[in-house]
Amino acid sequence: MDKIRAYENLQETLLFYGVNTHQPYYISSGNLILKFPESPFRMDFYAFCICISGEIELKIDQNEYKITENSFLISAPTTIVQFVKTSRDFRMKIIFFHKNYLLKNTVNAFSIERLDLFKNSSFTIEKSTKETTLHLLMLIGYLESKTKNKQRFTEDISRTIIMNILLEIANLINNHKKENHIQKQDNQLYYRFIELVQTNILYQKKVNFYADKLCISHKYLISVIKKTSGKTPHQIIDEILLKEIYILLSDSENNISEIAFITGFNSLSAFGRFFKKHTTLCPLDYRKQFIS
C-alpha cells in the first residue's frame, strides 16, 4: 500500500475520500470506511462524531482514547487527531460545521464556548445511552432531510437543528460533570485565552502579551487559567505550540531547521530541547514515524 501523505487539516483529509467540504457544514453517510489516513491531521471545523457500532482507537493531541458504541467525540478547531485502530464493524455518524455559519444573522451571538462542551480544552469524549444516541441520530437525520430538500428557509432551519444538537450534547456533558463552582466569567476568559493563543502561537509565546490582549493583569490571568484548567498559561501555550510542531513534523514539506524557524525558535538546538522535553523524542525520530 502506498504511504498516505500527512494531511495538514481535516478539509484535505476529507478530500482524500472525495468529499468537497467547502460547504458550511457536512454530514457523513455513516457507511463503512475502508481506509483511514495514517498520519495526524488538524481539525479545521467543529466536529461531532457519534459511534453507532464497533469501536475506534484514536490519538487526540497525542493522548490515546477509545470510542465505543453509543460514545461520542465533540471537538473544536485545532484539535489534532490520528486514527490508530478500528474494529471491522465500526460505524460512525459525523457532522462538521463552521462556527461562522452557526452565528450568521444571530442577533444575540450564540457562543459555543458558553455551552462548556470541551473538558480537555478543545474536545470531549463522552459515553451516552442507546436512547440518547437514537435521539441524536434522529436530529441528524432531520438535518439531512432538510439539507436535501432545498427551500426558502432551509439554511435557517439547518442552523437551528445544529444548535439544538449542540444543546443536547451540552446537557449530556453537564449532567455527567462533577460539581463545578468555577465562575462563568472566568470560564469565558479561559476560552478567550485559548482562542488568542491558537491564533497567535507562531508569533507570540509570552504570557504578558495575552494578558494585555485580554486587558487583565499577568497575575490575574495565571489565577484564572490555573483555576479553570489546573495548568499555568505557560503550560497551555507550550501545549498549543506542540500541536503545531506535530503537524509540521508529520509532513515532509519543510525540513526541521525550517520548522524551528516557522515556530519561532532562535536556534535548532532550542527547538530540539523544547520538543524532547515534552515528548522524550528528538524531532527527527518523531518525523521518521510518518516520513519514509
Among 112-116, 188-192, 279-283, top mean pLDDT goes to: 279-283
Domain stops at, among 127, 145, 178: 178
Q: What is the pLDDT of residues 239-274, one digit of tens each?
A: 889 888 888 888 777 899 999 999 999 999 999 999
Separation CA 72–CA 116 (nearest Å) = 16
Q: Is residue 1 part of a domain?
A: no
Task: Indicate if the pLDDT at residue 110 is higher than 60.
Answer: no
Identify which of 260, 256, 257 has the alpha carbon closest to the alpha carbon of residue 287: 256
pLDDT band at 171 (very low <50, low <70, confident <90, very high): confident
**What is the per-residue pLDDT for 78?**
77
Cell, residue 65? 482514547
Q: Is residue 213 part of a domain?
A: yes
Q: Is residue 282 part of a domain?
A: yes
Separation CA 243–CA 9 (nearest Å) = 12
Which residues neighbour 93 within 8 Å (Cβ) at sequence distance 6 or greater?
A: 27, 28, 30, 49, 50, 52, 137, 140
Q: Is residue 14 part of a domain?
A: yes
The β-bridge partners of 71 are 127
The enclosing domain of 286 has a CATH number of: 1.10.10.60
What range does the domain containing 190 cover? 183-291
Is 187 in the same domain as 170? no
Q: Percentage of the chain with pLDDT > 70?
A: 83
Is 200 in the same domain as 160? no
Q: What is the largest CA-CA distance in the chain?
A: 59
Q: Between 95 and 43, name the one with better pLDDT.
A: 95
**What is the per-residue pLDDT for 22?**
63
The enclosing domain of 156 has a CATH number of: 2.60.120.280
Dihedral angle sign, alpha carbons of residues 132, 135, 137, 139: negative
Cβ neighbours, 10 Å, residue 150: 8
Is 166 in the same domain as 223? no
Which residues neighbour 274 within 8 Å (Cβ) at sequence distance 6 or greater?
A: 238, 241, 265
Cell, residue 106? 444571530
pLDDT band at 107 (very low <50, low <70, confident <90, very high): very low
Q: Between 108 and 228, name the one with better pLDDT.
A: 228
Q: Is residue 270 part of a domain?
A: yes
Q: Is residue 5 part of a domain?
A: no
Specify whether the CB–CB gap between 158 and 118 falls below 8 A.
no
Tally the residues of the chain.
Answer: 292
The β-bridge partners of 83 are 58
Q: Is residue 36 part of a domain?
A: yes
Is 173 in the same domain as 204? no
Specify whether the CB–CB gap between 67 and 127 falls below 8 A.
no
Q: What is the pLDDT of residues 142-156, one digit of tens each?
A: 998 888 877 788 888
DSSP single-letter state for residue 115: G
Q: Give one word for 116, left, alpha or beta, with left for phi > 0 and alpha for psi -120 to 50.
A: left
The β-bridge partners of 254 are none
Is 99 in the same domain as 170? yes
Q: What is the mean pLDDT of residues 164-180?
A: 76
Is 161 in the same domain as 208? no
| 61, 73, 89, 223 from 58: Cα distances, Å | 10, 11, 16, 33
Q: Is residue 4 part of a domain?
A: no
Domain stops at, among 178, 208, 234: 178
Helix (H, G, I), strand (E, B) or coil at 176: helix
Q: What is the pLDDT of residues 174-207, one digit of tens each?
A: 776 544 444 556 677 888 898 889 889 988 999 9
Q: What are phi and psi of 214, to 5 degrees?
A: -90, 0
**Count of domains observed in the chain:** 2
